[in-house]
Chain A
């Protein structure tokens, strides 16, 4: 039974990811006075891509073809770890939050290698920038998450959420710092404005798009879906770690459906904020990104220090 719910949750995660992306697009379009495409558009795009014949460069190696599968698999594994509608899933025990960061690193490693595989300037450029940004973002993310896990003295996400639920809605100064740090990191890692622009195809500014430029057909579909899933993963991580109220602590139909409604509301609020931020903020120059991520790191560090100095009981 538990396993069935865990698998259901993972499938839900994967299935809802394109919807989140299209809702985000809807918010952005409305904010920019444009008509939004249908909510089903990302699904149609994915379906179209899987039917198309992939074109592979003659310089590509087996790694190029395998990478999309690895990236998507790693995102699915990450989805099994993050509690979506219920905590204490049997799958979430197999990995804690450090392993979660490891899954993201695994996917990124192969994405960057795939970018280098064809031997074009664009791919190398994207890989180089992606690895630079992520190597600065990863420690900032761990700092933010460590603040929570140290409060809960537990690096398991379910355990940390339990701890916060039991404590009630008390205000931890450290959580505020950690929340902002994690939001900044999430924006950078999912390739949103102001760090990267998912809609750009301008050589000098693109990062994620530059790496996947040579992909087509089902390979591209997997990569697109994986990046939508990554956005959803970060969104759910922020929503459920900092505002866990509503999440199901028992596996009853009532609790689960209530959790689903709560989750949808949380994600709506989060994506409205993200769309608003993307509309009013301009994209940064590449060499200002380290200041941005340095700031995120600093926030994470401040969160941890304020936990140690202000909040710990000793």
Chain B
């Protein structure tokens, strides 16, 4: 039954793709099918999480001797739920957002076709129970999303970004195939059950782990192999960026968790250390780069790098505890990581959809060209504010709960014996704290410069509130979920308990408490958090304050122009800009960035002191682009040039090559 729902979700998204191809006038049908697919995925995910029996199936598809094995367990179901929520929200948002595309049937068909295929691909990845099917689904997801990134291909920058994405996706896929291959060479076949039973040596297992980390890490956006993310996310349509950032990155994490925690027969603490370090570096550099961006969607893409870094870091913690036989703490770590993945999917989806709304109304994504939207788009601003508060991990919102759980996991380091680990983990906990604080600074900048202050451009000044209910309802629903899971995290944590049971064969410590009122991951005596009690006290306190200050006798506020110090009119250009806001942090963390800052002054004729005109330009580049990606690119080009010498363009030479190859092969065979 549950599996039927899952199949239904996939078939419906494929049906939506097919329907788009027909190019009928009933474009609403495309989104209706997509929404139903999302709803079925949610139902299937929740059903399986409640039921907890592993469902297996064998589809007569694929190669005759290697039919597709299907397996739907708690881990798959949890990620299915994430996809379902995102797709459901997008199906409300997209009809109006893609409205101008609908007038052009061809481009609308392309967009919807690949959206459907992309979603079906992601869902199939989660169902796969053998390496073949996994890779086919993975490729479907990658290639379909390439066409979505390249959707607005008229712009050459978009084509370059899309190519970069395709390149990194394929290199990543290659590494994943190799990782599967390494394990499979010690096993009897390619199904996951056979891989689990493989008699693999520790060295080869470590090689497989590194390959998988690089392969999945490339898709998930771990530093330094994240360079495609900030290029590809801004150029795709907003609801696609929302799906890619909110969901596709999670599918990559699913792959990593499935491979390391489930398929490999054992884990080693050294791998945990690798994950911890990679995650910490990604989290810190992700948020620092995010802070420096002016393009809202680029900023959000870098912030995804940060959040993926946090999740990988907590996975590393979980792995370290698992390898040291503290299974209940490993379960806590995995719980924190999965919950953060869920939360990130919610608020990043919300923020990308919000970015789309801002772009839709102002045709502007440059933060320095916006401002004052809180008065022009009041509903959007409240929704976006909730997203910003969740991602800044403020109490009462969902982002805080998962970071709190992550810190609680890190603080259990006292149970470990290894001195290196005992000093490394607290340092990473502090880095996590720094990341959270920087994220708050970053999203103060985002909300403050976009929605507050005075409009910095005509577009922003003329902006109007969105008048389409669906386009408002989708992000509003996500905002509601962000708040709901911030107050009642136990709803999801209870469901997740079964997942950790299944994957790690361990539950949380006996003394832990997870009720709607109390959250105590280790024991009630050690640490407890009650969002509901806090919410109630906030409401009571605020009510008392309000009544005390607004009782009778309170004067009504006077509205007046802003005090300009007597110098004459204030102008919007006097406000702090994005680069001004982040200038102190840019200076403090100067070594993290490649900063190219220029101030050009032109003097008035014949004077040396009288400045006529000042130009300021700031260009910040990513270290990994210059020091990792570009050297590799140059190396590949150089090798290609050498190889290119054998390409003469003369048909006789090619016939000669074929003959030589044939003779060589015949000789090899005869040996």
Mark A residues whose CB is within 8 Å of B.
Answer: 50-59, 61-63, 65, 69-70, 72-74, 76-77, 80, 91, 93-96, 98-99, 101-103, 105-106, 108-109, 112-113, 115-121, 123-125, 127-129, 131-132, 134-136, 138-139, 142-143, 146, 149-150, 153-156, 159, 214, 217-218, 222, 286-287, 290, 297, 300-301, 304-305, 308-309, 312, 314
> CB-CB < 8 A to B524: which residues of A?
93
Q: Is B662 an interface residue (CB 8 A)?
A: no
B444 and A121 contact, CB distance less than 8 A: no
Q: How big is the B interface, by class?
A: 35 or more
Q: Is B144 an interface residue (CB 8 A)?
A: no
Bound complex: CA A304 to CA B430 (Å): 11
CB distance from A139 to the nearest CB of B (A): 4
Bound complex: CA A124 to CA B417 (Å): 48
A308 and B529 contact, CB distance less than 8 A: no
B434 and A139 contact, CB distance less than 8 A: yes
Question: Which of these, B392, B528, B559, B576, contacts A96 with CB under 8 Å?
Answer: B528
Residues A309 and B423 in contact in the complex (CB < 8 Å), given A57-B561, A69-B545, A214-B562: yes
A308 and B426 contact, CB distance less than 8 A: yes
Mark B residues whose CB is within 8 Å of A.
Answer: 371-372, 374-375, 389, 392-396, 400, 404, 407-408, 411, 413-414, 417, 419, 422-423, 426-427, 429-431, 433-434, 436-438, 440-441, 444-445, 447-449, 451-454, 524-530, 533-534, 537-538, 541-542, 545-546, 549, 554-563, 570, 572, 574-576, 580-585, 587-588
> CB-CB < 8 A to A117: which residues of B?
374, 448, 452-453
B444 and A80 contact, CB distance less than 8 A: no
A57 and B560 contact, CB distance less than 8 A: yes
Bound complex: CA A47 to CA B59 (Å): 76
> CB-CB < 8 A to B582: which residues of A?
128
Across chains A and B, the number of contacting residue pairs, with CB separation under 8 Å, is: 249
CB distance from A48 to the nearest CB of B (A): 13
> CB-CB < 8 A to A95: which residues of B?
395, 529-530, 534
A53 and B453 contact, CB distance less than 8 A: no
> CB-CB < 8 A to A115: which residues of B?
448
CB distance from B487 to the nearest CB of A (A): 12
Bound complex: CA A105 to CA B438 (Å): 11
B588 and A105 contact, CB distance less than 8 A: no
B411 and A112 contact, CB distance less than 8 A: no
CB distance from A278 to the nearest CB of B (A): 23
A136 and B588 contact, CB distance less than 8 A: yes
Which among B375, B413, B572, B576 has the greatest number of chain A C-beta atoms within 10 A? Answer: B576
CB distance from B376 to the nearest CB of A (A): 10
Question: Which of these, B419, B440, B525, B575, contacts A119 with CB under 8 Å?
Answer: B575
A124 and B554 contact, CB distance less than 8 A: no
A58 and B576 contact, CB distance less than 8 A: no
Whose C-beta in chain A lies nearest to the C-beta of B395? A102
A132 and B411 contact, CB distance less than 8 A: no
B529 and A103 contact, CB distance less than 8 A: no
B440 and A109 contact, CB distance less than 8 A: yes
B454 and A119 contact, CB distance less than 8 A: yes
B557 and A105 contact, CB distance less than 8 A: no
